[in-house]
Amino acid sequence: MTAIAIDGVVKRYGAVAAVAGISLAVRDGEFFTLLGPSGCGKTTLLRMVAGFADLDAGAIRFGERRIDTLPPHRRNTGMVFQNYAIFPNLTVAGNVAYGLKARGIEREAMAGRVERALKLVHLEGYDQRWPHQLSGGQLQRVAIARALVIEPEVLLLDEPLSNLDAKLRVEMRGEIRQLQQQLGITAIYVTHDQEEALAISDRIAVMRAGALEQVGPPAEIYSRPATPFVAEFMGTTNLLTGTVTGVAGERHRIAVGGLELVAHGSAHSAGSRVTFSLRPETLRLLLPGEALPPGWARFEAVVGRVELLGALTRIELVAAGDVALRLAMLDLPPEPVAPGRRVALAYDPARVTLFATP
Amino acid sequence: MIALRSRSIFPLTVAALAFLFLGLFLLYPVYSVFHVSFLDQAGGFTLDNYVRILGRSFYQQSLWNSLTIGALATIATTAIGVPLAFCLARLPVPGKSAILVLAALPLVLPSFVGAYALVLLFGRAGIVTQFLRDAGLPVGSIYGTPGLVWVYTLTLYPYVLLPTLAAFKAVDVSIEEAGQNLGASRWRVFRTVILPVVIPSVLSGALLVFMETLENFGVPFVLAEDKPILAVEAYKLFVGEVSANSASAGVLATLLIVCTTSALLLQRYYLGRRRFATGARSAPPELQVGRGWRALATVFVWGVALAALIPFFTVLVIAFMEYRGPVLHPHLSLGNFADLLHRSSRPLVTTITLATAAALGAAILGVPIGYVLTWFRSGVSHLLDILAMMPFAVAGTVLGIGLVVAYNSGPLVLTGTPVIMVLAYMVRKLPFNVRASSAILHQIDPSLEEASINLGVSPARTFIKLTVPLMLGGIVGGMVLTWVTIASELSSTVILYSPAWATMTVVMFEALEGTGAGIAAAAAAVLILATALPLLLVYRLLRRHELALM
């Protein structure tokens, strides 16, 4: 269908650049997510694609066609709004038919398309309902049907799930992903929820203060964060800073307080300060008598608080007197783990992310 | 918590008191009007009164005139009010907050002063008329329909403007964007979404205009001349220049109730089927328009707001000019005020006393009712809601006639006392007070009260110790608005007053009937100042509590 090329776009509000020169290429049929904390410019960027925010510089193209000079109603994008923006004066069918009417589609063809769109979002039989009679989840489905029925070139979703409860959110994100795959439509999705972004996307762009921090597939963003910001934003991590004490190829020995750890990464010289990320689930408890896997590093720590979350257990640890660490493991912890006990820990240095800049 | 509250004795007590008050001073008087319209000379049941009155083309004409003038005024106020609201909501017009202050004024300034000013300027002996006639230009008559529609439009347009403005601002910006995103142009989105969402508010304002024109007494009295108007003819029949005829007056009053009630029911029915909750998170932004459009909008907005106030300025100026008999002389003079005060300063004292008493009474009654309606949901509160809005449908003239008929004999005789006037004002201003206190309460988080009750303070004590202080600013603002509108009330006053208790409006009314144009202007000036000053003083209070004038 349509690839989207965003080329050096800038949006300033007074002295503040909400979007500070971003270039992106969204591939045809891709589910692309803009992820970041509030105020990072992700919604502004989406609204620039939809035409609700003007560009101060740069260009946006759908395929070869430049669209940022078109008025919003001529861009043929289907947008799903955060608060759904369902027209309160129209029925469900009226809402879905709205864009078709604006396009002058014939009556008979329109009825069929509205019906198919409602079927697509599992709202058969709701066509004559009024918006105030629907639940949040149903309104969401109407909003999606309304955006899809016009067969837009791209689908734009602005935090569409943030008003739903947790369970429905998980259900709906699965449905949105499935619909997008089924139709093969190019989609840009805005969210501040990293879990949602990981679950749903082909690729993610992590944004911060109006600029791109990292662009890549979910697995890469999570396991190979480009910056400490991305590492922290994508779930919990142990973000540690220390001094390099020895380098052997990509293997660095790093002193953090009184603790010596090992991390793989691009070359840093001995004596330099470095920051690295050690995900809690990368750390493993080493039971007494258990052998250390080849190439892994080992150290000891004292157990602090133990938090049982059902399927998951989180353990807070203190190593070398003052280095606080978090560990996460599936299932319940084995016998020796109790507050105050000394335990052995192991990890694969290849799974540690050593950042290029301190 | 809710269950606990609904079981408490408080809402039932409030409801019982409200039913008692409105039963005695609204329902019973209205029933009396019905009753008397079906009585013959001997006190037996008859339909003769209806046959006689409705058979006369003069009275048929009065019904027709009232309805057509009302309809024309409603169309005109809507045609002005809706574009005005759009300009204020969405276009870059300078001085918006000043406009909003000015636009609220015509609603509380006495409308028949506006009518009178029109007569002073464009009437048969009007200043402008004479000037034009001297210059050899023919002048059309402003008496009758054109003058009435003109005055109604300029004094009542805020009824359409204010709710429509609020509605335009309540349409969330994303609704508009969704429309454009689906391929509709700005104009198409406006036509297919914004306008339908705003229309219920437009209609509720338009309906207020229609009811106001039906019940208004002072404006047609000044401007209608030979044209029969329902509210005026009911008064004339009741007061009776030859002999008072309460049965015939009752027939016209019943007709008036039928008209106003149908309008009210029609609106309720229509609004009941279309209530659009949009809940704006972010109000739509101002539109980027060219300099031409901007200039046009500015001229339009300021033009209307100022045109509506010109009559009142005119009266203020004329009041300070010299009158010799009916003839105006262009010298500054305080003679009119001297004449006014020489007669008596008592009407001013009466106006202030009665308005204060009634404003207090209406607040004491209206605030608890508003409280019960906002926070208790039950069958009783539903009934109370309907009852508390009923005074809307009863024209002042009709209520006045009803009160006189009901209380001029029997165990409770009130006719001719100031008490009956205060009661009439309280009944008439109750809907406003109830709505205002509901509006204020909606801004107070109910969990505050729940916290207080949870901490062991009884619901009634919580209301007095916590809720009332929180509402106080709003209540005071509402009382000032009530006070101001009562001070310029004429339609029930003209029926209920006795000579010892004549108000400022009555003085003007009598001066207009005679030849005391100067005295009337001075009285009007005093009234305008007495209403405008307190309004300006509490303006900030009103803004903070988002109190509208309806």
147-206 in chain A: CB under 8 A from chain B: 147, 150, 156
Within a 13 Å sphere around the CA of A13, how many CA atoms are in the beta-carbon half? 8
B196: nearest CA partner in chain A: A89
A316 in any annotated domain: yes
Average pLDDT, chain A: 91
Q: Residue B549 — very low, low, confident or very high, per pLDDT cuts 50/70/90?
A: very low
Least CB–CB distance from A88: residue in B179, B182, B277? B277
A330 - beta bridge partners?
Answer: A312
Could you tell me the residue range of the domain that residue A124 belongs to? 4-226
Name the domain boundary from A193, A226, A259.
A226
Does the beta-carbon distance from B179 to A78 stay under 8 Å? no
Contact residues for B214 (Cβ-Cβ < 8 A; gap 6+): B66, B67, B70, B230, B231, B256, B259, B260, B263, B395
pLDDT reading at B223 higher than 80: yes
A335 in any annotated domain: yes
Interchain CB contact of B175 with A (< 8 Å)? yes
How close, in Å, is residue A104 to chain B by CA atoms? 10
Mutant choice from B175, B181, B275, B276 vs A, greatest count of A C-beta within 10 A: B181
Least CB–CB distance from A85: residue in B174, B274, B275? B174
B176: nearest CA partner in chain A: A85
B175: nearest CA partner in chain A: A85
- A170 shares its domain with A22: yes
Q: ipTM, 2 decimals? A: 0.71
d(CA A37, CA A192): 5
Interchain CB contact of A296 with B (< 8 Å)? no
Does the beta-carbon distance from A99 to B174 stay under 8 Å? no
C-alpha to C-alpha distances, A107 to A100, A110, A149, B291, nearest whole angstrom: 9, 5, 14, 41
- A292 shares its domain with A204: no
197-236 in chain B: CB under 8 A from chain A: 197
Neighboring chain A residues of B181 at a CB cutoff of 8 Å: 50-51, 72-73, 75, 77-79, 147, 156
**pLDDT in the model for residue B424:** 95
Question: Do the beta carbons of residue A66 and residue A60 sit within 8 Å?
Answer: yes
A76 in any annotated domain: yes
Interchain CB contact of A94 with B (< 8 Å)? no
Q: Residue A358 — very low, low, confident or very high, per pLDDT cuts 50/70/90?
A: low
pLDDT (tens digit per residue) in B127-172? 788 788 888 877 777 888 888 999 999 999 998 998 898 888 888 8
Q: Residues B525, B527, B532, B538: is their CA dihedral positive or negative?
A: positive
A231 in any annotated domain: no
pLDDT above 90 as % of chain B: 18
**pLDDT in the model for residue B542:** 67
Neighboring chain B residues of A76 at a CB cutoff of 8 Å: 183
d(CA B167, CA B194): 9
Closest to B120 measured CA to CA, from B525, B531, B532, B527: B525
Query: Which residue intervals of B390-492 are DSSP H helices?
Result: 396-406, 418-442, 446-454, 459-462, 468-487
Q: Give per-residue burial for B398-407: e unless 16+ CB within 10 Å, then b.
A: bbbbbbbbbb
pLDDT reading at B6 higher than 60: no
Name the most confidently modeled range: A78-92, B127-141, B372-386, B518-532.
Answer: A78-92
Interchain CB contact of A74 with B (< 8 Å)? yes
d(CA B238, CA B194): 48
A96 in any annotated domain: yes
Neighboring chain A residues of B201 at a CB cutoff of 8 Å: none
Neighboring chain A residues of B277 at a CB cutoff of 8 Å: 88, 132
Least CB–CB distance from B175: residue in A52, A74, A87? A87
A319 in any annotated domain: yes
Q: How far apart are the first and last CA of chain A?
A: 42
Q: Give per-residue burial for B482-507: e unless 16+ CB within 10 Å, then b.
A: bbbbbbbbbbbbbbbbeeebbbbbbb
d(CA B474, CA B367): 10
**CATH at residue A210:** 3.40.50.300
pLDDT reading at A205 higher than 90: yes
Neighboring chain A residues of B196 at a CB cutoff of 8 Å: 89
Helix (H) or strand (E) holding B174: helix B173-181
What is the maximum alpha-carbon separation in chain B? 81
- A276 shares its domain with A139: no
A88 in any annotated domain: yes
- A36 shares its domain with A163: yes
Neighboring chain B residues of A85 at a CB cutoff of 8 Å: 172, 174-175, 177-178
Name the domain boundary from A166, A192, A226.
A226
Question: Do the beta carbons of residue B463 and residue B10 sit within 8 Å?
Answer: yes
- A99 shares its domain with A39: yes
Does the beta-carbon distance from A83 to B188 stay under 8 Å? no
pLDDT (tens digit per residue) in B441-469? 777 776 677 666 666 667 677 777 777 77
Does the beta-carbon distance from A81 to B177 stay under 8 Å? yes
A233 in any annotated domain: no
C-alpha to C-alpha distances, B307 to B164, B299, B300, B302, B540, nearest whole angstrom: 20, 11, 10, 8, 25
**pLDDT in the model for residue A321:** 84
How close, in Å, is residue B189 to chain A by CA atoms? 9
Question: Do the beta carbons of residue A8 and residue A22 sit within 8 Å?
Answer: yes
Does the beta-carbon distance from B196 to A103 stay under 8 Å? no
- A128 shares its domain with A210: yes
- A327 shares its domain with A219: no
Does the beta-carbon distance from B181 to A90 stay under 8 Å? no
**CATH at residue A335:** 2.40.50.140
B178: nearest CA partner in chain A: A85
A&B contacts, CB < 8 Å = 82
B510-529: average pLDDT: 78
Interchain CB contact of A54 with B (< 8 Å)? no
**pLDDT in the model for residue B411:** 80
**pLDDT in the model for residue B547:** 57
d(CA B471, CA B241): 48
Neighboring chain A residues of B186 at a CB cutoff of 8 Å: 73
**Strands A203-208 vs A186-191: parallel, antiparallel or unpaired:** unpaired
Does the beta-carbon distance from B174 to A83 stay under 8 Å? yes
pLDDT (tens digit per residue) in B333-342? 787 788 777 7
B180: nearest CA partner in chain A: A73
Tokens 């003083």 belong to which residue?
A: B537
- A181 shares its domain with A203: yes
**pLDDT in the model for residue B550:** 42
Interchain CB contact of A87 with B (< 8 Å)? yes
Q: How many domains does chain A have?
A: 2
**pLDDT in the model for residue B54:** 84
- A340 shares its domain with A295: yes
CA angle A12, A16, A17 (to 5 degrees): 50
Predicted TM-score of the model (pTM): 0.77
B188: nearest CA partner in chain A: A102
Question: Do the beta carbons of residue B401 and residue B253 sit within 8 Å?
Answer: yes
- Residue type, position A337, single letter: V
For residue B501, the 8-state DSSP code is G
**Strands A154-158 vs A186-191: parallel, antiparallel or unpaired:** parallel
- A218 shares its domain with A264: no
C-alpha to C-alpha distances, A335 to A315, B35, B257, nearest whole angstrom: 14, 92, 85
Helix (H) or strand (E) holding A305: strand A297-308
Name the domain boundary from A226, A260, A289.
A226
Interchain CB contact of B191 with A (< 8 Å)? no
Closest to A40 measured CA to CA, from A220, A200, A212, A198: A212
- A256 shares its domain with A283: yes
A105-129: average pLDDT: 92
- A245 shares its domain with A305: yes
